Amino acid sequence: MAVLSKYLPGAKKAREDHFEKDDPRQYLMHDPIPRGQMNEMVMESMHATSWKFWMVFGILSVLVAVCFFYAWGYMIAEGLWVAGVMRPAYWGIFLVNTVFWIGISHAGTFISAILRVFKAEFRRPFTRAAELMTTFGLIQAGASIFMHLGRVWLSYWMFPLPNQRELWPNFHSPLMWDLLAITTYVLGSTMYLYLPLIPDLAMARDRSTGWRKTFYRILALGFRGTEGEWRHLHTAMNFFAFAIIPVMFSVHTIVSWDFAMAMRPGWSSSVFGPYFVLGALHSGMGAVAIVLFIMRYTMKHMDYFIRKEHFDALGKLMMMVSFTYAYFIFNDYIIQWYGGNLATDNLLHWLEEGPMSWMFYQMILFNIVIPFAVLWIPKVRQTPWLLAVVGLLINIGMYWERYIIIPVMLTINNMPFTWKLYEPRIEIYLTIGTFALFLLFYMAASRLIPLIPVWEVQEGQMAHTMRKIGKANVSTISDFE
């Protein structure tokens, strides 16, 4: 059993100035409470629903019914003319949504898999919340892809099913790679959501009655918490954690190839792979900040689990991602500019001073300038609502980024006679619909499954101890693995 030792976040400053005043109990890992009590807290957070919850739930249900299902049905019945897509912007907000949601979904995997692999301890209370975002985000991404198809009822032709026509899907098409990558990612991330959920479901099963008991009993797969079960679970989780990381990177790289493989000014760029992955992380981190903020302030007992330290750590992560993102955006545009292709030049001019340039500048402002400017400040990082606002701005910026890459860049092509500006029409409703569906799923999930991975928190609390080394108060972690 190795003993890892590291300073607590902010501990250095505390050590120097207010050595004694820095109470380690402000950190979740050093603020253990009895397991039974913690379990009860989590159970209570699931059970507690107020009229506010149901009101929001109701509004979202109506939004989903109208903006998602009705609007989509209407579009299928009427044809794509109700949307704003046209020549030359054959792709519009649907694909923007797809890329956006896939980006959001990256946060979950990143936080739970990469941070788990690297043993970043602050992740413990919110891995579940992030993983849920992965799964629910991917559902929206998938729906958006299908929305944009002209004949969605024939979309099964994209799957390699044996048929009498002797026709296979075209494996040369980036869309085909996309389909395979996203499918893999959906399956992988759902599994990866489910595995760490099993102990918590078992916990919930043991503490509930009625239909919930049946529900949890079925989902918990008879988990009893024996040594052998834990060993298998850990093996499986480790396996998935390592397996899902390359999938995560590949998915967004492949999504970027939809664009990078195309012969268009602005799209045909070799840096798109990592650029998109970083962009995805950027928006994902922002989204996690928003979700954590909402969880902390709307759900019972969450102020125990989600604390300043988590926002602080997330803020630092966001800042780092923002740095890297800045590099890639610079790289992408400078190389395109340097290429000197006439159509690309036109495109850059268009971004610079066309009618959509406000979006371009806002993107730079929200994605780079604001995170750069404010995330240095510990006060901002540690104030949940401020971090949530920064996260929101980053998400808006990242949405604009995808909007610029798809409809705005599609405006400019090699045939200036066809340049036309895209206006979203029914897409706006459908976008609202996907957001509402995402939130609805999330709200439902918050009352059905424990949003806090209780066992992980408890494991962490057991592993963490404060030790005095010399004069310093040092947090130590015992690694059980």
Question: Which of 5, 37, 418, 478 touches another protein (CB under 8 A)?
Answer: 418
Question: Which of 87, 119, 224, 231 touches another protein (CB under 8 A)?
Answer: 87
- Shortest Cβ 474–another protein spacing (Å): 55
Among 59-67, 160-168, 274-282, 388-396, which window interacts with another protein (CB under 8 A)?
160-168
Site residues for another protein, 135-154, by CB under 8 A, read: 148-152, 154
> How far apart, in whole angstroms, are the C-alpha atoms of residue 216 and residue 151?
39
Sign of CA dihedral 423, 426, 432, 438: negative
Residue that has been written with the tokens 């990866």 in this structure: 192
Site residues for another protein, 179-218, by CB under 8 A, read: 179
Question: Which of 21, 25, 52, 165 touches another protein (CB under 8 A)?
Answer: 165
- Shortest Cβ 417–another protein spacing (Å): 4
For another protein, the closer CB: 88 or 453: 88
Total of chain residues touching another protein, rule CB under 8 A? 56
Structure tokens at 71: 């609007």
262 near another protein, rule: CB under 8 A: yes
For another protein, the closer CB: 145 or 321: 145
Site pattern 264..303 for another protein (x: CB under 8 A): x---------------------------------------
> How far apart, in whole angstroms, are the C-alpha atoms of residue 440 and residue 281?
23
Site pattern 377..396 for another protein (x: CB under 8 A): --------------------
Q: List the one residue out of 452, 171, 420 whose CA is nearest residue 304.
A: 452
- Shortest Cβ 201–another protein spacing (Å): 20
For another protein, the closer CB: 205 or 282: 205
Site residues for another protein, 318-377, by CB under 8 A, read: 346, 349-350, 353-355
- Shortest Cβ 248–another protein spacing (Å): 23
Cβ–Cβ < 8 Å for 247, 184: yes
Site pattern 65..84 for another protein (x: CB under 8 A): -------------xxxx---
Among 15-23, 101-109, 323-331, 406-414, which window interacts with another protein (CB under 8 A)?
406-414
Question: Which of 419, 428, 444, 447 touches another protein (CB under 8 A)?
Answer: 419
Residues found near another protein in the complex (CB under 8 A):
78-81, 85-91, 148-152, 154-155, 157-158, 163-170, 172-176, 179, 258, 261-264, 346, 349-350, 353-355, 410-411, 413-421
